[in-house]
Structure 1
Amino acid sequence: MTTATGSSPAAGSKLPPLTGGKHKRRMGEVALIATFGGLLFGYDTGVINGALKPMSVELGLTALTEGVVTSALLFGAAFGAVFGGRLADGWGRRKTIITLALLFLAGTAICVTTPSFEVMVLGRIILGLAVGGASSVVPVFLAELAPYEVRGSLSGRNELMIVVGQLAAFVINAILGNTLGHVEGIWRVMLAICALPALALFFGMIRVPESPRWLMAKGRREDALTVLKELRAEDRAVAEIDDIAQQISASRNETRIGFGSVVRDRFLRRILLVGIGLGVIQQLTGINSIMYYGQIVLIESGFEANAALIANIAPGIIAVIGAVIALWMMDRVDRRRTLLTGITLTTVCHVLIGIASFALPEGSAARPWIILFLIVAFVGSMQTFLNVAVWVMLSEMFPQHMRGVGMGVSVFVLWCVNACVSLFFPSLVDVVGITGTFFLFAAVGVLSILFVYREVPETRGRTLEEIDEGVTTGTIFLEHGKR
């Protein structure tokens, strides 16, 4: 069991302390470049919020085809997560991310130049493959590069960049929509901006080293040590490489990475189900219904269309603030405690949104502002306590020999749930209104609290090798009274 300070005795006693200076700066530079994948993730998923309305007019979309355009990226992301993880295991994290940058550019080009609904869907699917791949590969890449002491905050930077990308999309949508909304094809400009971070990711990753743990798994010890010396002091790099080598040597008989092998092992199957559960919990909070359809929710609450486009920036701002706080918390507060706090707060917000929608009459001057405030509180709670924690845990909880499969399957399910919620959310609001929709989210929240309390193990303060050993032997599941 981890201590209150989050530093396990085994981890702290084995390795020399971290040093600052050039190694810390280089680690920060590598993390910044890799998280452009998260920025692209955020922008591509958020831009549809404002681009959909003018796009619908020009391409002649119906309510059904609007849902198809929105969810096409998400279904593509589900498959991108699976194949991205497998490709990263075989080809390397760095090469895979470079390939994803090219997919982002290709998908953007198709969407910007599309002459029809069908071509737009194709472009959105390609973007989805890139988004899903980035969502599964970038967090693992960061976790494998990071020292265990700061792994949470470093891995969590990807989630910060996701919400920065979404905020950028909301701001750009609001500016272009309110100043140039009358210009035909303005939505194409909104989509085209995605090419800038895609280029930055492509050229930046050319200068970034490969994951040392992936190199060690491929028998390339000297290359792995060279990478670690670039990011750590020499004594720390040598000690870490010995730790990694010892763990890989101990698990040589566990080099199976197929899905069938995972489900036949009870401990690997259990950690996979925990990963899937975390992905489902995150999406069934309804967070992305706000990020994708925030304008619709705010119009339903009583805002005018243009005012809703501007008000939609508020959740984006609080999401960024929450992510910054979450990064500070990641290496100071236990993961389980963070998750339980987040689910509790978001569930309370769901109940309050449902009550406000029911109790405040339509046409009331206070109604839209109160609901906006509660939505901002919900997004802030979600981002501070849940989003970052979920992605960090998914990146670190799977053993090396199943990390690609575990991350890929978990994120595949996450994206499938995301796509289903996004596809049916407008219809759900039409049928049961905001009140019924958010009460439903609250009911799911109660079940989520029980799941996390019972099944999710603690990972803070452990090296990846210690987590690997704890999962494969089953000892990590014995904490907190779990059997």
Structure 2
Amino acid sequence: MSRALSTTEAHPLPPLTIGRHTHRLRTVALIATLGGLLFGYDTGVINGALAPMKAELGLTALTEGVVTSSLLVGAAFGALAGGRLSDSIGRRKMIILIAVFFIAGALACVFTPNLEFMVAGRIVLGLAVGGASVVVPVFLSELAPFEIRGALAGRNELMIVIGQLAAFVVNAVIGTVWSDHEGVWRYMLAVAALPAVALLIGMMRVPESPRWLISQGRVDDALTVLESVRSPERARAELDEIVHLANEQSTLVSPGWRALKEKWVIRILLVGIGLAVGQQLTGINSIMYYGQSVLTEAGFNQDTALIANIAPGVIAVIGGIIGLSLMQRINRRTTLLLGFILTTTAHFLIGSASLALPVGNSARPFVILLLVVLFVGSMQTFLNIAIWVMLSEIFPLRIRGLAIGISVFCGWTVNALLGLFFPTAVEAIGISGTFFIFGFVGLAAILFVATQVPETRGRTLEAIEEDVSTGAIYVVRPRVPAAEYPPSR
């Protein structure tokens, strides 16, 4: 089925060039993705800190879930508030505020005297994690040239899994070297303060998103930012394109919550919510939070499980690196379908292995560890980066922060429920029952992507926005050969 070319596709932009602006773009991206690193570390550190914390604070299976899920509840509201606030005060100021929350939350958790104070500190950290999960991908997406937007915006997800791996390694080192120290888990939590301070200082020197500046009528400031991260010719051409569509779409998209009265806005918002919720219902974060517990249930002793838990973290980083390269080579929909098919298969295999190999079988822990590694690798290679990139690019500029905030709020809410009830579920129905449930949900996710999710690769944010508003985005387009895209720089 054919369709008319959008305005932005009809007038190609000047090609990308390499120069000082390229280095500047990379530096800005590196600083901003420290938010992703903190996201990963603060969600992953609980994996190893929970066991010694449980002994000192006297946690039960339920309060274990409360400590873990309190961050996720904070993250849900942090995503919603952070996205909306970033539309008002800007992406840069919002990330600076997020860095302050990361520092405050880390200190509160390290010096907590009791369970209640720990939960409060985790909620503050959650507000920062949720805000970072929304604002950093949007900031990178709005700053990146469309040719490398997937690779640049996807770096945030790579930094998330690097942060989770760092947490697993730090947990294993500290937990082994200082295992006899009372409050060893406090050392694990304290490490997060270091990148938080680096994020705060670094963002002081980072420019604002040019697209947000244009949405505020600050066209000259936007040109200055674009000229710092593009060649002069490309910067002016992009500015003209963004300004043109911003003026055109201003009559179609109301700012804030009023935009939700438009049917086409609701439709793309439901796509975003479906992607965010589908990502969480794979159970990936249950593995990242409770991986040590799952491996202990599989048959490893506690110390061995702490070290073996590094394996999923390593494969997550390897998968993230591969996934980042796929953003420039494979269409988003194809990547998502492959990801959900592979993760769903892994769910059923883990459940089946747990049934076939009873507790006490010497092969059981190693087989389940291998399948968990395959699951995490499939998730990070094909799903996580693609989903976060799509969430950062499918929404209109005037409500981008709000819309991704609503989507991620729904995802974090599901994540919080999983974090709260996962230990109880494993205790009640075992590994097999839990992963069979994840598998059946995965079948529904495959159907959703196949029927509802549009393609966005290789198009400017303005072209995507124009086609979202007209409905043309949902028309199946011929696959664009990878050769038509400039190589990632």
TM-score tier, shorter chain, comes to over 0.9
Partner in structure 2 of residue 239 of structure 1: 237
Alignment of 1:397-412 (within 5 A): 397-412=394-409
In the alignment, structure 1 residue 422 sits paired with structure 2 residue 419: yes
Distance 1:198 1:432 in 2: 39
Distance 2:259 2:19 in 1: 43
How far off its partner does 1:260 sit? 4.4
Distance 2:408 2:98 in 1: 16
How far off its partner does 1:372 sit? 0.5
Q: Structure 2: which amino acid aligns with 1:186?
A: V
Partner in structure 2 of residue 278 of structure 1: 275
Does the aligned pair in 1 maintain the 2:6–2:467 contact within 8 Å?
no
Q: Structure 1 residues 84, 9: closer, same or farther in 2, change over 3 A?
A: closer
Q: Structure 2: which amino acid aligns with 1:183?
A: H
Partner in structure 2 of residue 374 of structure 1: 371
1:83-130 deviation per Cα after TM superposition (whole angstroms, max 9, x unaligned): 001111000100000010001001111111111111111100000000
Distance 2:41 2:451 in 1: 35
Distance 1:358 1:53 in 2: 26
Alignment of 1:243-254 (within 5 A): 243-254=241-252
How far off its partner does 1:20 sit? 1.0
Partner in structure 2 of residue 67 of structure 1: 65
Partner in structure 2 of residue 363 of structure 1: 360
2:30 aligns with one of 29, 32, 42: 32
Q: Structure 1 residues 305, 223: closer, same or farther in 2, change over 3 A?
A: same
How far off its partner does 1:292 sit? 0.2
Distance 1:117 1:463 in 2: 48
SS of 1:364's partner is coil
1:257 aligns with one of 233, 237, 255: 255
In the alignment, structure 1 residue 181 sits paired with structure 2 residue 179: yes
Distance 2:253 2:356 in 1: 58
Does the aligned pair in 1 maintain the 2:45–2:188 contact within 8 Å?
yes
Which is further off, 206-215 or 253-262?
A: 253-262
2:442 aligns with one of 445, 462, 480: 445
Partner in structure 2 of residue 385 of structure 1: 382
Does the aligned pair in 1 maintain the 2:210–2:223 contact within 8 Å?
yes
Partner in structure 1 of residue 306 of structure 2: 309
Partner in structure 2 of residue 21 of structure 1: 19
In the alignment, structure 1 residue 290 sits paired with structure 2 residue 291: no
Distance 2:33 2:9 in 1: 27
How far off its partner does 1:257 sit? 2.6
Alignment of 1:108-147 (within 5 A): 108-147=106-145
Does the aligned pair in 2 maintain the 1:315–1:380 contact within 8 Å?
yes
Distance 2:360 2:146 in 1: 53
- Normalised to the residue count of structure 1, the TM-score between the two structures is 0.96
How far off its partner does 1:408 sit? 0.5
1:227 aligns with one of 215, 225, 234: 225
Q: Structure 1 residues 12, 428: closer, same or farther in 2, change over 3 A?
A: farther
Partner in structure 2 of residue 78 of structure 1: 76
How far off its partner does 1:254 sit? 3.1
Distance 1:230 1:405 in 2: 27
Partner in structure 2 of residue 267 of structure 1: 264
**Root mean square deviation of aligned Cα:** 1.7
Partner in structure 2 of residue 464 of structure 1: 461
Gaps of at least 5 residues in structure 1 are: none
Distance 1:427 1:259 in 2: 37
Does the aligned pair in 2 maintain the 1:82–1:408 contact within 8 Å?
yes
Distance 1:213 1:268 in 2: 19
Partner in structure 1 of residue 392 of structure 2: 395
Q: Structure 1: which amino acid aligns with 2:275?
A: L
SS of 1:152's partner is helix
1:127-148 deviation per Cα after TM superposition (whole angstroms, max 9, x unaligned): 0000000000000000000000
Does the aligned pair in 1 maintain the 2:6–2:466 contact within 8 Å?
no
Distance 1:429 1:19 in 2: 53
Does the aligned pair in 2 maintain the 1:284–1:444 contact within 8 Å?
yes
Which is further off, 252-261 or 68-77?
A: 252-261
Distance 1:17 1:10 in 2: 14
Q: Structure 2: which amino acid aligns with 1:363?
A: G
1:370-408 deviation per Cα after TM superposition (whole angstroms, max 9, x unaligned): 110010000000000000000000000001122122101
Q: Structure 2: which amino acid aligns with 1:465?
A: E
Distance 1:469 1:9 in 2: 8
How far off its partner does 1:61 sit? 2.2
Partner in structure 2 of residue 354 of structure 1: 351
Distance 1:12 1:351 in 2: 47
Identity %: 63
Which is further off, 123-132 or 60-69?
A: 60-69
Which is further off, 362-371 or 122-131?
A: 362-371
Does the aligned pair in 1 maintain the 2:102–2:196 contact within 8 Å?
yes
SS of 2:475's partner is helix
How far off its partner does 1:223 sit? 0.4
SS of 2:278's partner is helix
Partner in structure 2 of residue 93 of structure 1: 91
For these two proteins, the number of residue pairs brought into alignment is 477
Does the aligned pair in 1 maintain the 2:340–2:446 contact within 8 Å?
yes
Q: Structure 1: which amino acid aligns with 2:312?
A: P
Partner in structure 2 of residue 157 of structure 1: 155
Does the aligned pair in 2 maintain the 1:11–1:461 contact within 8 Å?
no
Partner in structure 1 of residue 431 of structure 2: 434
Distance 1:342 1:284 in 2: 13
Distance 2:435 2:135 in 1: 32
Q: Structure 1: which amino acid aligns with 2:194?
A: L
How far off its partner does 1:81 sit? 0.2
How far off its partner does 1:9 sit? 11
- Normalised to the residue count of structure 2, the TM-score between the two structures is 0.95
1:299 aligns with one of 290, 296, 301: 296
Partner in structure 2 of residue 170 of structure 1: 168
Which is further off, 470-479 or 446-455?
A: 470-479
How far off its partner does 1:65 sit? 1.6
How far off its partner does 1:237 sit? 0.2
Does the aligned pair in 2 maintain the 1:342–1:381 contact within 8 Å?
yes
Distance 2:392 2:202 in 1: 22
Q: Structure 2: which amino acid aligns with 1:413?
A: C
Partner in structure 2 of residue 208 of structure 1: 206
How far off its partner does 1:479 sit? 2.3
Does the aligned pair in 2 maintain the 1:69–1:124 contact within 8 Å?
yes
Distance 1:260 1:219 in 2: 20
Gaps of at least 5 residues in structure 2 are: 479-489
Distance 1:114 1:366 in 2: 41
Does the aligned pair in 1 maintain the 2:343–2:378 contact within 8 Å?
yes
Q: Structure 1: which amino acid aligns with 2:159?
A: M
